[in-house]
Amino acid sequence: MAFPDYNYCNLEHPEIRLLAQQDPKSFFLQYQAPVIIDEIQRVPELLSYIQVEVDSKKENGMYILTGSQQFNLNASISQSLAGRTALLTLLPFSLQELTQYENLDFTREKILFNGFLPRVYDQQQQPLMAYRNYLQTYVERDIRQLINIKDLNVFETFLRLLAGRVGQLVNYNSLASDTGVSAVTISNWLSVLEASFIIFKLNPYYENLGKRIIKSPKIFFTEPGLACYLLGIEEESQLSRDPLLGNLFENMVVMEAVKARYNKGLDANLYFYRDSNHYEIDLLWKKDGDLFPVEIISALTWNESFTKNINWFKRNIPASSKGCVVYGGELQFTTKDDVMVTGFDQFWKLL
């Protein structure tokens, strides 16, 4: 465990949660600082006590608070611990973190099917079981605490429909029609999923680029393994034949960039580009003041045509830099057009 010298408690445990709710002073006597308090959003009242301790002792890093919900937790922190905290968003494992596991199979299908949940690697859980449990606990339980869902089956249908649109522009009316709820409800559900780190919205970049730019965001799943589960993919061999393979691969690469930013304590600051003439760049980020374009291709075999969109972008968009193609193969080189090429498992080295 990280921070081995810290005490630890998990407020999901009923007895620990009851103690924290009914007798906070006894709770802090039992779990003295330095301490890690997991799922702090379950008893937000503790934050007021922590505020008093932090203000009186003035030592940094004595309380590490974790939570799987953003809504209630952020509101409570803003009220009780404003100016006293450093906030980090920790997503599932990155490809860089997976390199710690020896003899790991880094094939495209294997990584997408297994996903990045720690329990799949630390506890060798079967992906289907891990994501089934993940859906039931973190999604169905936590989401229902935040929004009033009358029919859970309808919400699960919505999740599966959303997985079928991974990497695509959000169309609220289409999702509403297929799910049987209003577009307003779809918008609310997406906001909750985003705040709970189930999905990530990648916004389009249209700053100073005119009015013909597509302005709808794309939807990605924070955990591509969950998207595979929702799509009914039960074996990794299914992925190579699945029509959404390219979308799922793009999902994985985009989330690698997001994790790299978050793990440095930075905002995502990532975008995509698409205009009305169908010119598109899968991923953009501002790097050293320039726009760094990334083209994401799931193909295993390199082809020179993969750089076409990046070269167009470099010719037509001011302040664009050399760019990179991330693909499903293993080659790593720079093209004659000064575009970097890398396999997906090495992309993290460029971030």
Q: Does residue 2 sit within a domain?
A: no
Q: 306 vs 2, which has greater pLDDT?
A: 306
Amino acid in the structure at residue 94: S
E strand map for the chain: 7-10, 35-38, 63-65, 199-204, 218-221, 270-274, 280-287, 290-297, 324-327, 333-334, 340-343
The pLDDT of residue 149 is: 78
Mean pLDDT of all residues in 128-147: 83
Identify the residue with better confidence: 112 or 145.
Answer: 112
Residues 45, 161, single domain; the answer is no
In this structure, are 191 and 278 located in the same domain? yes
The pLDDT mean for the chain works out to 90
pLDDT of residue 198: 93
Structure tokens at 272: 């995509």
**pLDDT-wise least confident of 81-85, 88-92, 218-222:** 81-85
Q: What is the mean pLDDT of residues 236-265?
A: 96
* Phi/psi at 132 (5° precision): -65, -45
Residue 210 is predicted with a pLDDT of 59
- Is 241 within a domain? yes
The total of structural domains in the chain comes to 2
The pLDDT value given to residue 212: 63
User: From CA 148, how far away is CA 150, in angstroms rounded?
Assistant: 6
Q: Is residue 196 part of a domain?
A: yes
Query: For 181-213, what is each residue's pLDDT tens digit?
Result: 999 999 999 998 998 889 999 999 877 665 566
Residue finishing a domain among 80, 112, 139? 80
Same domain, 164 and 25: no
In terms of residue numbers, what domain contains 70? 7-80
Distance (Å, whole) CA 31 – CA 133: 29
Higher pLDDT, 79 or 114: 114
The mean-pLDDT minimum among 77-86, 95-104, 212-221 falls in 77-86
Average pLDDT (152-181) is 95
Is residue 323 a contact partner of residue 293, using CB atoms and an 8 Å limit?
A: yes
Over residues 272-324, the pLDDT tens digits come to 999 888 889 999 988 777 899 999 999 999 999 999 999 999 998 877 888 99
* pLDDT band for position 14 (cuts 50, 70, 90): very high
* Residue the block writes with tokens 């995509």: 272
Q: What is d(CA 308, CA 266) in angstroms, rounded to the nearest whole number?
A: 30
298 and 247, same domain (yes or no): yes
Q: Does some domain include residue 85?
A: no
Domain-embedded: residue 90:
no
Strands (E), 262-323: 270-274, 280-287, 290-297
* Same domain, residue pair 205 and 309: yes
Is residue 1 assigned to a domain?
no
Least confident of 63-72, 244-253, 265-274, 333-342: 63-72
Question: Which of 50, 80, 110 is the C-terminal boundary of a domain?
Answer: 80
Verify that 155 and 239 share a domain, yes or no: yes
Of 56, 80, 104, at which residue does a domain stop?
Answer: 80
Q: 114 pLDDT band (50/70/90 cuts)?
A: very high
Confidence of residue 104 (pLDDT cuts 50, 70, 90): confident
Supply the pTM of this predicted model: 0.90
Contact 340, 323 (CB under 8 A): yes
Residue 104 corresponds to which amino acid?
Answer: L
The Cβ of residue 177 has, within 10 Å, a number of other Cβ atoms equal to 12
d(CA 245, CA 228): 10
Regarding whether 245 and 198 lie in a shared domain, the answer is yes
**133-169: string of b/e by CB count within 10 Å (b at 16+)?**
ebbeebbeebbeebeebeeeeebeebbeebbbbbbbe
> 2-6, 12-16, 208-212: lowest mean pLDDT where?
208-212
The Cβ of residue 22 has, within 10 Å, a number of other Cβ atoms equal to 9
Q: Calculate mean pLDDT across residues 236-249.
A: 96
Joined tokens for residue 323: 């760019």
Q: Is the pLDDT of residue 73 over 80?
A: no
Residue 269's Cβ-side half-sphere holds a number of Cα atoms within 13 Å equal to 16
Closest CA to 219 of 260, 189, 179: 189
Q: List the 333-334 sheet strands across, edge first.
A: 218-221, 199-204, 270-274, 280-287, 290-297, 324-327, 340-343, 333-334
- pLDDT above 90 as % of the chain: 69
Asked, for residue 297, whether it belongs to a domain, the answer is yes
Read off the pLDDT band of 71 (50, 70, 90).
low
DSSP 8-state symbol, 32: P
Whether 66 contacts 42, CB under 8 Å: no
Q: Which amino acid, one-letter code, is at 204?
A: P
pLDDT band at 1 (very low <50, low <70, confident <90, very high): low
State whether 140 and 108 are in the same domain.
yes
Domain contains 61: yes
Cis peptide before 204 (omega within 30 of 0): no
pLDDT at 330: 94
Asked whether the predicted pLDDT for residue 80 surpasses 70, the reply is no
Residue-level pLDDT at 278: 82
Residue 74 sits in the same domain as residue 170: no
Measure the CA angle with vertex 300, ends 295 and 301; round to 5°: 90
Same domain, 233 and 332: yes
**pLDDT attached to residue 88:** 86
Verify that 67 and 199 share a domain, yes or no: no
DSSP 200-246: EEEEEP-TTS-S-B--PPEEEES-HHHHHHHTT--SGGGGGG-TTHH
69 shares its domain with 185: no
Q: Is 35 helix (H, G, I), strand (E, B) or coil?
A: strand
The terminus-to-terminus CA distance of the chain in angstroms comes to 26
87 vs 246: CA distance, rounded Å: 33
